[in-house]
Structure 1
Amino acid sequence: MDENKLDEELKKIWEEKPMIHSDHTKEDSWEEFRSRAFSSKKKNVAWRKYAAAAAVIVMFIGTGLYFIKEPLKTDISIAGNVIENTTSKVKTIFLPDSSRVELSPASKIEYTADFSVNRKIALEGEAYFKVKKDKKHPFQVFCKETTTTVLGTSFIVKEYDQKGVVVELYEGSVQMNVKGQEKNWILKPGEKFTYGDGAVTVADFERFMDFDNEKLNAVTAYVESNYGYQLILPETYHDKRITLRINKKEDLKTIVQLISEMYNLNFEVNEALKQITFQ
Structure 2
Amino acid sequence: MSDKKIEDELKKIWDEVPISHSDSEKEASWEDFQSKAFSAKKPKFKIWRYAAAAAVLVFALIGTGLYFNRDSVTQNTIVATNVIENTTSKIKTVFLPDSSRVELSPNSKLSYADNFQTNRKIEIEGEGYFKVQKDKKHPFQVFCKETTTTVLGTSFTVKGSSKNSVSVSLFEGSVEMSVKNQDKKWILVPGETFTYANNTAEVTEFSRFVDFDNQKLTDVSVYIQENYGYKVIIPAEYSNQRITVRINKKEDLKIIVQLISEMYNLNFEINDELKEVTFQ
When normalised by structure 2's length, the TM-score is 0.79
Residue 271 to residue 59, structure 1, CA distance change in 2 (3 Å):
same
Identity %: 61
Give the superposition deviation at 1:64.
Answer: 5.8
Query: What is the rounded CA distance, in whole Å, between the counterparts of 2:55 and 2:21 in structure 1?
Result: 22
The aligned residue for residue 103 of structure 2 is 102
Counterpart residue number, 1:118:
119
> Is 1:267 equivalent to 2:264 in the alignment?
no
Bigger relative CO (Cα 8 Å, ≥ 6 apart): 2
Q: Deviations over 1:70-99 (max 9, x none)?
A: 425422222221000000000011111111
Tell me, what secondary structure is at the counterpart of 1:108?
Answer: strand
CA displacement at 1:21 relative to structure 2: 3.2
Root mean square deviation, CA, Å: 2.5
Structure 1 residue aligned with 2:171 = 170
- Would you say the 8 A contact 1:124–1:159 is kept in 2? yes
Residue 151 of structure 2 corresponds to 150
Conservation of the 8 A alpha-carbon contact between 1:156 and 1:169? yes
SS, match of residue 23 in structure 2: coil
Spell out, residue by residue over 1:134-184, the C-alpha distance to the aligned partner (whole angstroms, 9 max, x if none): 111111000000000000000000012432100000000000000010000
**Within 2, Cα distance between the matches of 1:120 and 1:131?**
12
Cα distance, 1:16 vs structure 2 = 4.0
Distance (Å, rounded) in 1 between the aligned partners of 2:277 and 2:261: 11
1:71 aligns with 2:68: yes
> 1:1-279 residue pairs with structure 2 within 5 A?
15-21=17-23, 57-62=58-63, 70-71=67-68, 73=70, 74-75=72-73, 76-77=75-76, 78=78, 79-279=80-280
Question: What letter corresponds to residue 83 of structure 1 in structure 2?
Answer: I
Aligned partner letter, 2:128: A
Cα distance between partner residues in 2 of 1:72 and 1:214: 51
Q: What letter is aligned with 2:275?
A: K
SS of the equivalent of 1:209 reads: strand
Q: Which has the larger radius of gyration?
A: 1
Which residue identity lines up with residue 131 of structure 1 in the other structure? Answer: V
Tell me the alpha carbon deviations over residues 84-128 of structure 1, each in whole angstroms, 9 at most, x when there is no partner.
000000001111111110000000000121111111110000000
Poorly superposed stretches of 4+, deviation over 6 Å:
53-56
Question: Which sections of structure 1, spanning at least 5 residues, go unmatched?
Answer: 1-10, 33-52
Report the TM-score when normalising by structure 1.
Answer: 0.79
Query: What is the deviation of 1:198?
Result: 0.6
Tell me by how many angstroms 1:63 deviates: 6.7
Deviation at 1:231, TM superposition (A): 1.2
The verdict on how the C-alpha distance between 1:261 and 1:54 changes in structure 2, with shifts beyond 3 A counting, is closer
2:18–2:62 Cα contact (<8 Å) kept: no
**CA-CA distance at 1:271 after TM superposition:** 1.4
Residue 217 to residue 72, structure 1, CA distance change in 2 (3 Å):
farther
Answer yes or no: is the 8 Å Cα contact 1:20–1:72 preserved in 2.
no
